[in-house]
Amino acid sequence: MEQPTNKKKLNLRFIIVFAALVLGGGAFGLTKYIHAQHHEETDDAQVEADITPVIPRVSGYVTEVRVKDNQPVKKGDTLVILDDRDFKIKLEQAEAAILSAEQSLDQAQASTVASQANVATVQANVATIDAQIEAARVNVWRATEDYKRYQNLIADHSITQQQFEQADAARQTAEKQLKVLEEQKKAAIRQTQATASQSHATSKQVNVSNANVRQKKADRDNAELNLSYTVITAAQDGMVSKVNVHVGQFVLAGQSLFSLVQGTTPWVIANFKETQINKMVEGQKVVIFIDAFPGREFEGKVTSFSPATGSRFSLLPPDNSSGNFVKVVQRLPVKIEFTTGKEVLARLRPGMNVFVDVHLDEVN
């Protein structure tokens, strides 16, 4: 007769446990639902920082490596020194070329001065001949008039034949003298043109020599710049990564030797699903959990969104127009900056895993 009573007790316990599970599950689900309406979370997030590759600008053999793995450095510290002997020789050659070009310029300038003086002298000769031609024309006119008068006088037998012949000879002499002077003027004009052409050519030579001097100085500046590139320095404060270069090694211009993690404030890049960013805006509060510091919360804020999804920046972006299409939820990188915990930011390293919780209702 006791079996029904035991059965009733078991049924009552089952109902109570079942009801507690239902209520607990409902409360948990409701809590998660309410939380999801005001929060967006992801564990696809990492710490990021500025990483600069150390790259030589010139090729050469390494003569000295002044840093070690994981060494902190300051801006301007020497990292690597290359053999500079070839570059010093090129600098000396460039300086010698400048001296040669300057000498050529001095010679061209001296030739120009001499040509200009010759032009002035020839022009003065032309002016002198012009004056002589004017005087000769006056003589021709006077001799011609005398000859005409003597013609009338010889017809009247007022003068002797000898006087008439002297007047005629004086006229012919004056005319010949005028022709000689005119020919001299033509020759002087041709000489003036030739001298002016030579002066113009020497002026061009001066311009060419000036350009050559500027070119040689530019070569010298380039040689000095390449010589300075043999000393590779730190562009910013930071910490050196693994140093993959050794003394005696030949490195090429543009070859990455190692990296420098800059000592700037790190940040977080969180890759949210495209279905999560509907309510996310810049300035929203973010709670950050870093795996390296368990049990500790850091605060930050959303500062920017990537202009494209992460897959678009991959080496081989997907092309959905070819082959069979399979829809894949994309992720959009979101930049988050720290607003608290500055005392431990120096201990953070790029690549550390973090968990972020964006508070959709809290905007700074």
Tell me the CATH number at 248.
2.40.50.100
Q: Which tens digit of pLDDT belongs to each residue from 308-323?
A: 988 888 877 877 776 6
Handedness of CA 277, 278, 279, 284 (dihedral sign): positive
Nearest-angstrom CA–CA distance, 291 and 295? 9
- In the sheet that holds 72-73, the strands lie side by side as 51-54, 258-262, 238-240, 72-73
Q: Tell me, yes or no, whether 117 and 183 share the same domain.
A: yes
Q: Which tens digit of pLDDT belongs to each residue from 71-92?
A: 999 999 999 999 999 999 999 9
- 21 located within any domain: no
Read off the CATH number of the domain in which 353 is found: 2.40.30.170
Which residue, 225, 240, 271, sits at the end of a domain?
A: 225
Q: Tell me, yes or no, whether 246 and 300 share the same domain.
A: no
Q: Tell me, yes or no, whether 129 and 79 share the same domain.
A: no
- 345 located within any domain: yes
Domain span including residue 46: 39-51+261-315+324-359
Q: Tell me, yes or no, whether 120 and 208 share the same domain.
A: yes
- 14 located within any domain: no
| DSSP state at residue 162 | H
Q: Tell me, yes or no, whether 68 and 150 share the same domain.
A: no
Which residue, 240, 258, 276, sits at the end of a domain?
A: 258
pLDDT at 25: 82
Please give the tally of structural domains in the chain: 3
Q: Tell me, yes or no, whether 151 and 120 share the same domain.
A: yes
pLDDT at 18: 76
Q: Tell me, yes or no, whether 268 and 282 share the same domain.
A: yes
Nearest-angstrom CA–CA distance, 275 and 34? 17
Q: Tell me, yes or no, whether 100 and 190 share the same domain.
A: yes
Q: What is the 3-state secondary structure (H, E, C) of 165-207?
A: HHHHHHHHHHHHHHHHHHHHHHHHHHHHHHHHHHHHHHHHHHH
Q: Tell me, yes or no, whether 250 and 272 share the same domain.
A: no
- 354 located within any domain: yes
Q: Tell me, yes or no, whether 89 and 193 share the same domain.
A: yes
Q: Which tens digit of pLDDT belongs to each residue from 170-196?
A: 777 777 877 877 777 777 667 666 666
CB 56 within 8 A of CB 232: yes
In this prediction the pTM is 0.66
pLDDT at 1: 45
- 219 located within any domain: yes
- 13 located within any domain: no
Mean pLDDT across the stretch 206-227?
A: 87
Q: What is the 3-state secondary structure (H, E, C) of 329-356?
A: CCEEEEEEEECCCCCCHHHCCCCCEEEE
Q: Tell me, yes or no, whether 270 and 252 share the same domain.
A: no
pLDDT at 145: 72
- Among 7-21, 126-140, 259-273, the range with the most confident prediction by mean pLDDT is 259-273
- 6 located within any domain: no
Q: What's the mean pLDDT when you consider all of the chain? A: 82
Which residues, 6 or more positions from 182, have their beta carbon under 8 angstroms from its beta carbon?
133
Q: Which tens digit of pLDDT belongs to each residue from 12-64?
A: 777 787 778 887 888 777 766 766 678 899 999 999 999 999 999 999 999 99
- 8 located within any domain: no
Q: Tell me, yes or no, whether 281 and 158 share the same domain.
A: no
Which residue, 176, 204, 225, sits at the end of a domain?
A: 225
